[in-house]
Amino acid sequence: MARNRYDAIVVGARCAGSPTAMLLARKGHKVLVVDRARFPSDTVSTHILHPPGVASLRRWGLLDRVVATGCPPIHTYAVDFGPFTLTGAPGTDMDPVAYGPRRTVLDKLLVDAAAEAGAEVREGFTVEEMVVEDGRVAGVRGHGGNGRTVTERARVVVGADGRHSPVARAVKPEQYHEKPQLLCGYYTYWSGLPMDGRFETFVRPDRGFAAWPTNDDLTVVIVGWPYAELEANRRDVEGNYLKTLELAPAFAERVHAATREARFVGTAVPNWFRKPYGPGWALVGDAGYNKDFITGHGMHDAFRDAELCATALDQAFTGTRPFESAMGDYRASRDRQVLPMYELTTQFATLEPPPPEQQQLLAAIHGNQQAMDGFARVLGGMTSPAEFFAEENLGRILAPAR
């Protein structure tokens, strides 16, 4: 222990890493957070930040900084199924809106908050390998811009290093609830496409797309098709993207009147959970739990992990609880909170039509404002699908229709 310069080394400084470092540093722990990227910089991700993520920023005292960037609030979610649209409010009185801040903006703000809290931030630092001693992770070895190999030691190394996590690759955690890539998504940015505070999504056979406002008066539009079509469509992404939008003619017209301001970016991701801790290591964010981006829950899930993991590590560092039991609670709490949404997300990501009983339910929700708000809160992560789809609630929604 005496040789450890740090309590925690956090690898990765975006949505999961910087908040973990910030929260640990705020509790008085000695933290190093490293990232091979420099900030501000972009990453392959769109960026709807649902109300639970906004609530985290508020709790951490960072929401005003996002608002100050001019990123417009999003007060309404509209899900267009073709025959009807479900339009509702995703938030609560306390946290009524979502935001769609660019990752160049949000991630920089998070890195700065970690530094302000007292964490040492090293940008442009690539971790090459874990230092392992007596069967436990004891630090990292890596290099900064000058290429010189550096070894740093800590009581715990936190992998906040994304879905290709080098930390996870080294510690080989148990992986479960696995599902393959289900869809691929391509996005770009448009000017002259006003959204009036709305997050709009469109559900069509084998296709899904969504649009919402972001910084600099731009609107991000992401289009998804089944993973099985990746090869067939990759030679003409723009053509397939625009053809897909035609499935909602009124929206396609709005896009035709707009100007594309960026290139197309796209990818597909697999789905899994990983055990997020072991001797001398922990995982947060995508490194520990990865799922399709169709519901846009990755960023606020990363925030939640940061809070749960920092709380558990604080308990372990201060000797309040043994590491195993505190981190076991982190894992159990994460899994319990996200599993119902994981199932819904991976169902949506198949882009198959909803099963008949769900179609009946969606039709019954339509026009019932309370139920539409409830549905918007499920999409926004404020209400668990388990709660919304519980028999009692379904009975209430379906009763008038019957």
Ligand X SMILES: Cc1cc2nc3c(=O)[nH]c(=O)nc-3n(C[C@H](O)[C@H](O)[C@H](O)COP(=O)(O)OP(=O)(O)OC[C@H]3O[C@@H](n4cnc5c(N)ncnc54)[C@H](O)[C@@H]3O)c2cc1C
Give dist(CA 395, CA 400) in Å, integer: 9
Q: Taking CA 364 as the corner, what is the angle to CA 358 and CA 369, rounded to the nearest 5 degrees?
A: 120
DSSP string, 53-101: HHHHHHHTT-HHHHHHTTPPPB-EEEEE-SS-EEEE--S-SSS--BB--
Residues 181, 269 contacting (CB under 8 angstroms): yes
Based on the shown chain and the rule CB under 6 A, indicate whether residue 110 belongs to the binding site for ligand X. Answer: no
Based on the shown chain and the rule CB under 6 A, indicate whether residue 227 belongs to the binding site for ligand X. Answer: no
Q: Tell me the closest approach of the beta carbon of residue 86 to ligand X, in angstroms.
A: 19
230 phi, psi to nearest 5 deg:
-55, -55
Which CB atom, from 12 or from 213, has the smaller least distance to ligand X?
12
| Residue with the CB atom nearest ligand X in the bound state | 298
Give dist(CA 199, CA 397) in Å, integer: 24
Q: Which of 247-255, 296-304, 316-324, 371-379 is the region at the interface with ligand X (rule: CB under 6 A)?
A: 296-304
Among 15, 55, 98, 326, binds ligand X (CB under 6 A): 15
Structure tokens at 146: 């000058």
Among 8, 11, 316, 344, binds ligand X (CB under 6 A): 11
Residues 149-168 that bind ligand X (CB under 6 A): 160-162, 166
Among 269, 349, 361, 362, binds ligand X (CB under 6 A): 269
Give dist(CA 224, CA 350) in Å, integer: 10
For residue 51, whether the previous peptide bond is cis, meaning omega lies within 30 degrees of 0, is no
Residues 179-218 that bind ligand X (CB under 6 A): 185
Which CB atom, from 365 or from 383, has the smaller least distance to ligand X?
383
Based on the shown chain and the rule CB under 6 A, indicate whether residue 245 belongs to the binding site for ligand X. Answer: no
Among 22, 299, 309, 379, binds ligand X (CB under 6 A): 299
Based on the shown chain and the rule CB under 6 A, indicate whether residue 382 belongs to the binding site for ligand X. Answer: no
Based on the shown chain and the rule CB under 6 A, indicate whether residue 337 belongs to the binding site for ligand X. Answer: no
First to last CA, the chain: 66
Q: Binding mask 112-141 vs ligand X (x if CB under 6 A, - otherwise)?
A: --------------xx--------------
Based on the shown chain and the rule CB under 6 A, indicate whether residue 224 belongs to the binding site for ligand X. Answer: no
Give dist(CA 168, CA 294) in Å, integer: 24
Q: At CB < 8 A and 24+ separation, what contacts does 211-217 make?
A: 211/251, 212/48, 212/74, 212/98, 212/100, 213/71, 213/72, 213/74, 213/100, 214/47, 214/71, 214/100, 214/101, 214/102, 214/189, 215/69, 215/70, 215/71, 215/101, 215/102, 215/105, 216/70, 216/102, 217/191
How many of the chain's residues bind ligand X (CB under 6 A)?
Answer: 35
Among 7, 12, 98, 221, binds ligand X (CB under 6 A): 12
Q: Which of 270-278, 295-303, 347-355, 368-376 is the region at the interface with ligand X (rule: CB under 6 A)?
A: 295-303
Based on the shown chain and the rule CB under 6 A, indicate whether residue 45 belongs to the binding site for ligand X. Answer: yes
Q: What is the DSSP letter of 127?
A: E
Among 108, 297, 331, 366, binds ligand X (CB under 6 A): 297
Among 38, 43, 176, 325, binds ligand X (CB under 6 A): 43
Q: Tell me the closest approach of the beta carbon of residue 159 to ligand X, in angstroms.
A: 9
**What residue ranges bind ligand X (CB under 6 A)?**
11-12, 14-17, 34-37, 43-48, 126-127, 160-162, 166, 185, 267, 269, 285-287, 293, 296-300, 302
